[in-house]
Structure 1
Amino acid sequence: MAIWGVVRLVFTLYVIISPSRFEVATSSRQDPDKWPPEAAVDGNVQNNDVDFCAHTRVKNATKAWWRVDLGHKTTIINITIYYRGKSITSTSVKSQLHNILLGEFAGYQIYVSNSTKRSRAKLCFKDTSTSLEEVKNIISHQCQYVARYVMIYNFRNEEKDHSWYSKSAVLELCEVQVFACVPGKHGDVCENDCSYNCKDKTCIQENGNCVGCVRGKQGLQCTKNCSINCTECKQDDGICTGKIMPSTINVFLENTGLSVSWSALKIATTPYVIKQRAFVEVGGFYCLEIPFVMRERKSLLDL
């Protein structure tokens, strides 16, 4: 069972998610007209009436999830959930219903990712409450990642983890607020700029470290250059992953047994005809090994 939506961002120093358009996964909810997925991002935090909530209830479901698409990679700060709470006037019945709802919510997980697949997402939070008293139906979680999708997920095994868990997996989400920095910003109140060399201009809210670098850059905030002969490298250690340009050319003169080295710039003016070429590793560097045929007699000092 699943519901998900696509949202726009309302930009201030912080961002709170609000809806623009929504797409709903098929066969995932009890009544999409009454309890649609967008009800969880409509700005209404009232959580004491199911008619204001997104609802995934399907009898005997083992999995339930709700996902929102932020539209692009976003520097997330925290996520606040308003789960459905008590809504019946009688105190004793109200308390009983409230406990049932907490038993539904218990065990929930929050994932963030840049993919719609949960298997590729990062787990931001997992509820491990051991009693109903520990479960809160209005709660905020720090979730400092750069991601496009936020998913709330729950499941039920054949044998429940706790006796007070609900039998079926279900989510009744009245509001989900994702607080984030506007693109290119980070800091406690999003007051600092991400490095210009951060890929997609996104960085970690807490420390400004980039989540990936533009081509040719490396380091936590992408302030260092890759090796002079490397077009792209790993952010953390600078190991080259892109095209390696030759820095030294080992030239072997056919039928002479002699070899010399020169810079790549001299290749265009070489007085020799290239027969074949191949990249070889020499002392940890990649060099271009070129056998030549003598076309005219030249002193090695002239090369």
Structure 2
Amino acid sequence: MTGIVLLVCCGWTLLRCLFVQAYENLALHQTAWQSSTLRSDNGAERAVDGQYTDQAWNGGQCAASDYGEQTTAEWRVDLGAVRSIHHIFIQYMTHNGVWDEDNLFTGYFLGFSVYFSNTTNKEDGVLCFRDTNYTRATIPNPVNITCPYHGRYVIYYNNRTHPPYSEGYSSYAYNVLCEVEVYGCPSPGYYDENCSLECPQNCQDGYCDIVDGTCFGCLHRYIGPRCTKDCPSGLYGSNCSQNCSMTCGDPGECDMRTGHCNGGCQVGLTGAMCETGYHLTINNTHENFYIMKPSYISTINDNSLYNNFMAYT
């Protein structure tokens, strides 16, 4: 039966049929928000209700922002938790007309962006897609955007803040979205088209590429596409991106996870990373000298310095 269904799919529909069978629509019936609303039956939730056969502004199945002189328009859906995402499907409003350069809504769609974020602020997240090349004759509808990443909020954004814009752009920013579907794995920490494989255990925050399982970052002390290798000598931290201190007792040698020095510190220095200097205090009371040994002198080299100093007093 699956094979028959795939045979009748074509173009973008074939792509969507393949995706839908592999991943789950994480946005369906989730909480949505938009920066303004045209009328009561154009609320943000209309874009995640699973209905978009009527793509008119007054059909009750599409979200729509106000038609005022707005320079920005934003819509977002809360997936409920951080999710691993594979791709996004967007069905823009057509007013049930032919989608071509003469359709008014093509100009509204041009220049849109999609972000993933763990907060409601798109600036805290990552840019998944930004249209810089489409024209009214070439912008597709619906559109599938493959963007393997993770996040809690999927944010659709458009703006008209820096005119002039290319020919065909609307003068003001609107969002008129009949459906936004976000496909991925419902449980974090899994990948593969069936969401059946666990991400490598040393991936940072437990997340990995939803297609091939490679890590977006590594836990401290690990490196490599799947975070299976220890940091090379002299490096430590997340993705082995930091250098061990050259003031360690063994210069450039430290714990791969914390960066704390191995072998104590060089003479005159203290601290976990040998970043703090110290000095010996001499108290002179008339004819007697008292040498005050700091409590943090503990290494062999430090005590040798102290003992040598005492020998000359």
TM-score using structure 1 length: 0.68
Pairwise CA RMSD of aligned residues?
3.6
In structure 2, what is the Cα distance between the partners aligned to 1:142 and 1:243?
37
Per the TM alignment, residue 203 of structure 1 is displaced from its structure 2 partner at its CA by 0.4
Question: Partner residue of 1:185?
Answer: 190
Question: Partner residue of 1:114?
Answer: 118
Q: C-alpha deviations, 1:236-282, integer Å up to 9, x for none? A: 54756964334213698xxxxxxxxxxxxxxxxxxxx9733379xxx
Structure 1 residue ranges without an equivalent (≥5): 1-10, 89-93, 253-272, 280-286, 295-303
1:45 equivalent to 2:42? Answer no
Question: Partner residue of 1:224?
Answer: 229
Decide whether the 8 Å contact of 1:277 with 1:291 is kept in 2.
no
Per the TM alignment, residue 205 of structure 1 is displaced from its structure 2 partner at its CA by 1.8
Moved more, 205-214 or 94-103: 94-103
Question: Partner residue of 2:259?
Answer: 244
Counterparts of 1:116-265 in structure 2, within 5 Å, are 116-157=120-161, 159-181=163-185, 182-225=187-230, 233-235=237-239, 237=241, 239=243, 243-249=258-264
**Structure richer in strand, relative to its length:** 1
What is the identity, as a one-letter code, of the residue corresponding to 2:131? D
Distance 1:289 1:187, change over 3 A: farther
What is the identity, as a one-letter code, of the residue corresponding to 1:131? T
1:73 equivalent to 2:78? Answer no
Question: Partner residue of 1:263?
Answer: none
What is the identity, as a one-letter code, of the residue corresponding to 1:202? Y
The number of equivalent residue pairs is 249
Structure 2 residue ranges without an equivalent (≥5): 1-19, 245-255, 268-291, 308-313
User: SS of the residue aligned with 1:235?
Assistant: helix
What is the identity, as a one-letter code, of the residue corresponding to 2:296? R
Question: Partner residue of 2:282?
Answer: none
Distance 1:21 1:244, change over 3 A: same
In the alignment, which of 87, 92, 95 is matched to residue 96 of structure 2? 87
In structure 2, what is the Cα distance between the partners aligned to 1:289 and 1:20?
67
What is the identity, as a one-letter code, of the residue corresponding to 1:103? G
Question: Partner residue of 2:13?
Answer: none
In structure 1, what is the Cα distance between the partners aligned to 2:111 and 2:261?
55
Per the TM alignment, residue 168 of structure 1 is displaced from its structure 2 partner at its CA by 1.5
Decide whether the 8 Å contact of 2:221 with 2:239 is kept in 1.
no
Per the TM alignment, residue 79 of structure 1 is displaced from its structure 2 partner at its CA by 0.6
User: SS of the residue aligned with 2:238?
Assistant: coil
Distance 1:222 1:23, change over 3 A: same
Distance 1:288 1:193, change over 3 A: farther
Decide whether the 8 Å contact of 2:191 with 2:212 is kept in 1.
yes
Question: Partner residue of 1:60?
Answer: 69
Question: Partner residue of 2:4?
Answer: none
Per the TM alignment, residue 157 of structure 1 is displaced from its structure 2 partner at its CA by 4.0
Question: Partner residue of 1:104?
Answer: 108
Decide whether the 8 Å contact of 1:277 with 1:290 is kept in 2.
no
Question: Partner residue of 1:260?
Answer: none
Decide whether the 8 Å contact of 2:27 with 2:182 is kept in 1.
no
What is the identity, as a one-letter code, of the residue corresponding to 1:44? Q
In structure 2, what is the Cα distance between the partners aligned to 1:236 and 1:72?
29
Distance 1:217 1:288, change over 3 A: farther
What is the identity, as a one-letter code, of the residue corresponding to 1:187? D
TM-score using structure 2 length: 0.66
1:28 equivalent to 2:36? Answer yes
Decide whether the 8 Å contact of 1:106 with 1:127 is kept in 2.
yes
Distance 1:191 1:24, change over 3 A: closer
Decide whether the 8 Å contact of 2:29 with 2:45 is kept in 1.
no
What is the identity, as a one-letter code, of the residue corresponding to 2:168? W
Question: Partner residue of 1:291?
Answer: 303
Decide whether the 8 Å contact of 1:47 with 1:85 is kept in 2.
no
Decide whether the 8 Å contact of 2:100 with 2:137 is kept in 1.
no
User: SS of the residue aligned with 1:132?
Assistant: coil
In structure 2, what is the Cα distance between the partners aligned to 1:73 and 1:278?
48
